């Protein structure tokens, strides 16, 4: 029984042992079939050398056979739950090297294509890749491109302290950071101011925009001169009145500051140089009233002009009157005792270098009134500054009209304005009120803006603007 059971076990593992002879195999099979019922499982349970615990076979020592019994080889029996040999890991999936996106609009990619029965499909030769000759772009030399504008080179700031003060004094919209010579064309000198020469020019990109440009030299060691330039920029750039000249734009380029202002037709001085006599009294009254409006606004904003004369009263082609050149202007809330201005238009307290107020502008306007009607200022015959000062302080007669015949009302107002004592001199508001009273009473005639525009156009009829 032992031999049959052992042979049966061996026959179930043909891959592990050699097959026995045919006679031995047949007798073994008969014994095995007779000893094992049909419902018995294939795996033996009562085999010497094998112990089963809850369905898990384990190997036990085999007893030594008795004498006379044949010794059969003990073969290893495979364990069901033994560790399996490791399986080689699969390679990652790679897409096909060549593929083509189907055109779903023309053909249905799900419909299989069948070859035509009449013409059997012939093996197609492999297509060669079409190589396109690359189009070479034209060679461009290294250098400046004609189509792209080159940005301007940065300019080193030569006067950083002055530039910072200028930027604080003006609105950002009136500060220009480019070379003025590239922005304006047609420079022509038309006059001079307290701080520099004045030229007229035209905008390069707009021929109809004509400006008056004052160019002032910047010297960092001359602190008072720089203060006057900054004050003039502040007044023209920040104060806005129809009888004050306004600043359009300003820039510091190199050692010069450029002030672009609105261009007027001429000054009262330029108008007098083109006529043989002084202005008619009615036009002089109109110019004086417009000038007083600008002076009142300037005084109310805390500044005195200190250089009022016919050269600084500008006229437009349409009869506008504007006060210009604020290079010597000074605040009224500080002590002013410096001798500044033009000699023949200076008040006595300015010449003496005493403390003075904005009433010095009234004295200068009185001298300007005589200049407009006489065509020349008083003391026109003197050239030395000391002689002019001596005549103003100790002259035998006060300044008055010489070549014209003013009305009594005009003469009385001018004498009032030329009072030697500054505190007793009237203010600009009182002078304007006195002119209005005289006009209402019929003692003075006042022209209109149309009359002044017509007169200016007649004088410069044959002179290009």
DSSP label of 160 = H
Closest C-alpha to 328, from 348, 349, 350: 350
Polymer length in residues for the chain: 465
What φ, ψ does residue 322 adopt, rounded to 5°? -140, 140
Contacts of 220 (CB under 8 A, 6+ apart): 159, 161, 162, 226
* CA distance readout (Å), 361 to 54, 279, 348: 129, 21, 12
Q: How far apart are CA 371 and CA 268, in angstroms?
A: 10
Residue 193 near residue 233 (C-beta atoms within 8 A)? no
Residue of 282, 307, 325, 374 with catalytic role? 307
Is 307 part of the annotated catalytic residue set?
Answer: yes
DSSP label of 129 = P
Q: What is the torsional sign of CA 438, 444, 445, 446?
A: negative
Residue 353 near residue 359 (C-beta atoms within 8 A)? no
Element (H, E) at 286: helix 281-300
Closest C-alpha to 291, from 323, 327, 259, 267: 323
Structure tokens at 376: 């020349």
223 CB burial (10 A radius; 0-12, 13-18, 19+):
exposed
* CA distance readout (Å), 363 to 146, 235, 271, 347: 62, 22, 22, 6
* CA distance readout (Å), 444 to 144, 292, 415: 70, 16, 16
Region of 440 please: left (phi>0), alpha (psi -120 to 50) or beta: alpha
Structure tokens at 409: 């009302």
Catalytic positions, written as ranges: 307
């Amino acid at each position: 029984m032992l031999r049959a059971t052992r042979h049966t076990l061996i026959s179930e593992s043909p891959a592990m042992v050699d097959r026995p002879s045919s006679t031995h195999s047949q007798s073994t099979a008969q014994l095995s079939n007779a000893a094992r019922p049909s419902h018995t499982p294939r795996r033996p349970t009562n085999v010497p050398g094998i112990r089963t615990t809850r369905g898990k076979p384990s190997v036990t020592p085999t007893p030594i056979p008795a004498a006379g019994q044949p010794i059969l080889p003990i073969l290893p029996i495979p364990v069901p739950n033994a560790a399996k040999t490791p399986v080689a890991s699969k390679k990652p999936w790679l897409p096909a090297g060549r593929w083509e996106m189907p055109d779903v609009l023309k053909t249905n990619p799900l419909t299989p294509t069948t070859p035509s029965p009449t013409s059997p499909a012939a093996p197609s030769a492999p297509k060669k890749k079409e190589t396109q000759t690359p189009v070479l772009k034209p060679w461009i030399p290294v250098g400046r491109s004609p189509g792209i504008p080159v940005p301007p080179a940065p300019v080193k700031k030569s006067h950083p302290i002055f530039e910072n003060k200028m930027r604080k004094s003006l609105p950002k919209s009136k500060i220009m950071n480019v070379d003025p010579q590239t922005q304006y064309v047609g420079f022509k000198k038309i006059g001079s101011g307290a701080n520099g020469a004045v030229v007229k020019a035209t905008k390069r990109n707009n021929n109809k925009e004509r400006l008056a440009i004052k160019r002032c030299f910047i010297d960092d060691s001359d602190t008072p001169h720089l203060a006057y330039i900054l004050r003039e920029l502040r007044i023209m750039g920040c104060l806005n009145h129809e009888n004050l000249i306004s600043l359009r734009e300003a820039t510091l380029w190199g050692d010069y500051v450029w002030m672009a202002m609105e261009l007027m037709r001429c000054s009262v001085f330029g108008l007098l140089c083109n006529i043989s006599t002084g202005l008619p009294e009615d036009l002089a009254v109109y110019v004086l009233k417009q000038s007083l409006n600008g002076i009142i606004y300037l005084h109310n904003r805390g500044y005195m002009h200190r250089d009022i004369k016919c050269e600084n009263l500008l006229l437009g082609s349409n009869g506008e009157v504007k006060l210009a050149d604020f290079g010597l202007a000074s605040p009224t809330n500080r002590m002013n005792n410096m001798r500044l201005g033009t000699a023949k238009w200076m008040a006595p307290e300015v010449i003496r270098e005493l403390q003075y107020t904005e009433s010095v502008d009234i004295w200068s306007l009185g001298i300007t009134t005589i200049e407009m009607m006489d065509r020349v200022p008083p003391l026109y015959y003197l050239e030395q500054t000391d002689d002019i000062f001596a005549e103003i302080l100790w002259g035998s007669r006060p300044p008055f009209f010489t070549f014209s015949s003013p009305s009594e009302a005009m003469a009385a107002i001018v004498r009032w304005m030329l009072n030697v004592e500054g505190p007793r001199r009237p203010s600009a508001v009182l002078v304007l009120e006195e002119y209005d009273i005289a006009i209402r009473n019929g003692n003075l005639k006042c022209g209109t803006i149309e009359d002044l525009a017509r007169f200016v156009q007649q004088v410069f009829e044959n002179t290009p603007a």
